[in-house]
Chains A and B, each alone.
Chain A
Amino acid sequence: MKRMGIFYHTSFSRRSYLTVGRRLADFPGALTPLLRDPAFRLVECPEAPDEWILRVHDPSLIPAVEADPL
């Protein structure tokens, strides 16, 4: 069993909603030394379907987020 999964998507390293600029610009490259250890595995995050979001959020939230200028 792999002990540690690292879940990442290249879109996270482009301009991030969370920050001004690209805080994850150095990833996934910054993980290269770590990934030489077989205990660590990089996994590409799949897109979360809307139905998962709607288990928690009101349907009005999705269009509101998509319309946000940030």
Chain B
Amino acid sequence: MAAAEGIADGTFERAFAFIGAGGHHAGRDYFGGYCCYNDVVIAIAHLRATRGIQRFAILDTDAHHGDGTRDLTEQDPAVLHVCICGASYASPDGTKVDVPLPAALWRGTGDPDAVYLETAEAAFAERAAAFRPDLTVWYFGFDGHRGDYGDMGLSAKCFLGLADLMTRVADQASGGRLLTVLGGGSRTDLATALIPPIIERLGRRPAEA
């Protein structure tokens, strides 16, 4: 919430929010999947109530479907929610989208990092640009990294590429305003190796990266 406020008030252009528990599996009256309260949707409600900010575009690249976030935003046309997961779905108004991972990831053919990045870009970049959110949100889990519990064969290259994608989309769609919220991922070594360079990449202009 404080990170979202910091962006809304202009103190920061971008923010990275660490967490103590996950958020995207928490719905109105249920929780689980290591998630307690839906941090992203609470931030949206808070910014609407206190700052008058209305439109939000979320890309969820945690390894698992953001079911709580989807349930809470299903009837909200001012939230674009794109989730890269196992499902294939688009709501009639196009604001709720599930994109399945390409079979190449599971077959082990091709470069998993490149396949995932291409999928994320195709799923989110044009949709977010057309949606024109006030704030772009990246729900970033590293559980899809090789050796973590959602292993999709991904490496740091993929997550750094996603950071570049999100800064580019935020620059084009929401005036640079980008909130990144940490999601899943369990390994200390991966957290330590991945998170600082991702924050660095998020905080720099593309020309500086």
Q: B26 within 8 Å of A by Cβ? A: yes
Knowing A61-B30, A64-B31, A65-B37, say if A24 contacts B10 (CB, 8 Å). no
**Residue pair B3, A5 in contact (C-beta under 8 Å):** yes
Any A CB within 8 A of the CB of B137: no
Residues 9-49 of chain B, each 1 if its beta carbon lies under 8 Å from chain A, else 0: 01111111111111000101111001111100110011001
Contact A3 B186 (CB under 8 A): no
Tell whether, in the assembled complex, residue B16 and residue A7 are in contact, meaning their CB atoms are under 8 Å apart: yes
Number of A-B contacts (CB under 8 A): 148
Which of B14, B49, B191, B204 sits near A24, CB closer than 8 Å? Answer: B191
Interface SS of A by simple majority: loop
Question: Which of A12, A43, A56 lies in contact with B45, CB distance below 8 A?
Answer: A56
- Size bin of chain B's contact surface: 35 or more
Give the residues in chain A near B35, CB-CB below 8 Å.
18
**Chain B residues whose CB sits within 8 angstroms of the CB of A19 once the complex forms:** 34, 185-186
- Taking CB atoms and an 8 Å cut-off, the chain B residues in 177-201 that contact chain A are 184-188, 190-192, 195-196, 199-200
0 or 1 for each of A1-26: is its CB under 8 Å from B? (1 = yes): 11111111101100011111111111
Binding site for B on A (CB under 8 A): 1-9, 11-12, 16-27, 30-31, 33-34, 39-41, 43, 45-46, 48, 52-53, 55-58, 60-61, 64-65, 68, 70
Besides A18-B184, A22-B188, A61-B30, 19 more A-B contacts (Cβ < 8 Å) are A1-B11, A3-B13, A4-B14, A4-B202, A9-B18, A12-B20, A17-B34, A23-B191, A27-B192, A30-B192, A39-B204, A41-B12, A45-B2, A45-B17, A46-B2, A48-B37, A56-B37, A58-B28, A64-B31
